[in-house]
Amino acid sequence: MAVSFSHISIPFQESSIARSISLLPYAANNFHLLGGSPFVLYGGAGNFCWRFHDLKRPILKRPNIQQRNRKHVPINELISIRNQNNDQSENPSRNLANDEQFSEAASTMFPNDSTEEQTRATSHRKKSSMPNSQPGILEKARTSLESPSSFVRTHSSNLSVDDHHRGPSLSIAVIGATGELARKKIFPALFALYYSGFLPENIGIFGYSRKNLTDEDLRSLIASTLTCRIDHQQNCGDKMDAFLSRTYYLNGGYDNKEGMSKLNALMEQIEGGYRANRIFYLSVPQEALLDVASSLADNAQTKKGWNRIIIEKPFGFDALSSQQFTKSLLSKFKEKQIYRIDHLLGRNLIENLTVLRFSNLVFEPLWSRTYIRNVQVILSEDMSMQIGRYFDGYGVIRDIVHSHMLQTIALLAMEPPISLDGEDIRNEKVKVLRSIRKLELSDVILGQYKATSADKLNVSLCSLTPTFFAAALYIDNARWDGVPFLIKAGVGLIKHRAFYNAIKTYRVEIRIQFNRVPGNLYRECIGHNTDLATNELILRDVPDEAILVKINNKIPGLGLQLDASELNLLYKDKYNVEVPDSYEHLLLDVMDGDNHLFLRSDELAAAWSILTPVLQEVDQNNIAPELYELGGRGPVGAYYLWAKHGVRWADD
């Protein structure tokens, strides 16, 4: 016999139920046992269910609580009493504040639990007044020259925490808080999650940079970038004020070790000594990343919950630099703590790849070389700002192809994982990457846009920095032998109708072309161009997100004329909802411990092994990229590459 709270089953004796059930007042009148039957309790405080031989029955039904069958559930509806190790160990479930009443019940019902499995439970309280009640003390934390430990000893007597309040159960620190990425994407994504109920009410948000700012300065800096959901804007102003009141700033200075120690002291102070998990988003330049990560690992990790770090791409400059960087990271963090983020992988299109394939019988049997002729992954990027030093140093290959394009192919081509667990999916992805045939330079086209002053873009790129990359990849395994995977990624390609990203506009399209019908009875009605009659599955990203299936159809009327038509699912017509930003999706995955869209170290190494030989050959031979017009279709050489592998250009 067992009781399960938020995915944790705990064995107990039936004799212990009688004296404990009174502590569960809402369920007391609906709690029944069947002698000798497999029995578990599960659910949150508002909705308990029991499971009997794979069947679920509600124990308590509340009129305003709906059982959700979805991946993410708003944070305030979850009651988690899952204990976590104190040594940075990871927990896929969120470790949030719990109801004290259930903790008391659990301690009575489970008297034989070990210390490691005892639950720590505290109630969701009213908003804490601590941050605003001692403003002078917080300023001393940032400016004092004392060591963090002596600061805490000196001022701890002034920081009394009322019995009716507690610190945040989750703290998120944004390192590089005054940068453009943090202001325009990270903080707005955090607020969107907070507004929608996916973050705890008492969360602590910490901004860290080298600028001499105050809490109010940071709040004013990010306030203009925060927006509420279009589809529900109740209490928008109140939510925004509450979020900003939980945002704090620390000037870390130029000594990262000292700065991280001060950050740790500030976070511990706001957390009030309670158990809290920490996420660190490293939005810093690549050259500073290793020092920041090392200082953070040694001085800012909590010992009262899990710690996770988020690292932005690019992940190295080539295979060697990436390997050295990974080795340094793994000397300070466990692999399960590291989340290498690529915001393009947070798009709904990418998440829908596995859903479309593995949950629809109509597609899965066709997903092989037997029926698929080629696969095309196309990404076009329209710049609405200057490119600058970052892109000039890394180029489109290191910035986009290495992560997004290869990860998309891995998700498309992988074998079915044994489960939806992140590690199981990553295991299958890395197999695909390791199976990709060595890429020859003859199967690669490099390009660079030819900008003018009228384009209002930074044209001071290095003369050999590619802004366009096209290649033909082959996966040498039984499923995909002989099927070309053609990728095309370019900056300044065909201008789009709308801007989606506040910084850049990305448009992704995946086209899966099927083989011709053997012995087609209607070949005379199709004409000489049989490619036009090829069935296709087309997946398009925002702003016109859609799933299209191209089929051959008879035109109504007398006679027999065929037409290639599209069965289409347009998201904006079908779903009247606002599409969350990709950063919201990925940040929520980090909090959940879902890492399937984040690169693991072996995936990283496998991707670099594909591209590094080509990069070295390009650099050694000073191969100049082919020029193309800004707003055009890319270099002409890409047309010939597609034709070489028997593929019709998708834009035709």
Q: Which residues belong to the active site?
A: 404
Q: What distance in Å separates the CA atoms of residue 378 and residue 511, rounded to the nearest whole number?
A: 8
Angle formed at CA 146 by CA 140 and CA 152, multiple of 5 degrees: 65
Q: What distance in Å separates the CA atoms of residue 192 and residue 194, rounded to the nearest whole number?
A: 5
| Half-sphere exposure at residue 480, Cβ-oriented, CA atoms within 13 angstroms | 24
Q: What distance in Å separates the CA atoms of residue 638 and residue 57, rounded to the nearest whole number?
A: 59
Q: What is the largest CA-CA distance in the chain?
A: 92
Tell me how far CA of residue 593 lies from CA of 95, 421, 457, 535, 589, in angstroms: 11, 10, 39, 39, 6
Rounded-to-10 torsion of CA 128, 130, 135, 139: -110
Q: Record the tokens describing residue 426, joined without a space.
A: 């990553």
Q: Record the tokens describing residue 369, joined without a space.
A: 């070389």
For 272, which DSSP code? T
The pairing of beta strand 170-175 with beta strand 204-209: parallel
The pairing of beta strand 247-251 with beta strand 204-209: parallel
Q: Record the tokens describing residue 622, joined without a space.
A: 């000073």
For 508, which DSSP code? E
End-to-end alpha carbon distance in the chain: 64
Beta carbons of 406 and 439 less than 8 angstroms apart = no
Beta carbons of 42 and 5 less than 8 angstroms apart = yes
Give the length of the chain: 652
Tell me how far CA of residue 462 lies from CA of 383, 533, 617, 635, in angstroms: 17, 43, 17, 18
Of 225, 193, 217, give the one whose Cα is nearest residue 502.
Answer: 225
Q: What distance in Å separates the CA atoms of residue 457 and residue 492, rounded to the nearest whole number?
A: 10
Of 545, 471, 470, give the one whose Cα is nearest residue 508.
Answer: 545
**What values do phi and psi take at 331, rounded to 5?**
-80, -15
Q: What distance in Å separates the CA atoms of residue 212 and residue 250, rounded to the nearest whole number?
A: 8
At 423, is the secondary structure helix, strand, or coil?
A: helix
The pairing of beta strand 2-5 with beta strand 8-11: antiparallel
Tell me how far CA of residue 357 lies from CA of 5, 149, 363, 550, in angstroms: 32, 54, 6, 17
Q: What distance in Å separates the CA atoms of residue 282 and residue 298, rounded to the nearest whole number?
A: 15
| Half-sphere exposure at residue 551, Cβ-oriented, CA atoms within 13 angstroms | 7
With b for 16 or more beta-carbon neighbours within 10 A and e for fewer, the 213-229 pattern comes to bebeebbebbeeebebe
* Count of Cβ atoms closer than 10 Å to residue 343 Cβ: 20
Of 593, 500, 480, 487, give the one whose Cα is nearest residue 542.
Answer: 500
* Count of Cβ atoms closer than 10 Å to residue 415 Cβ: 14
Tokens 């439970």 correspond to: 121
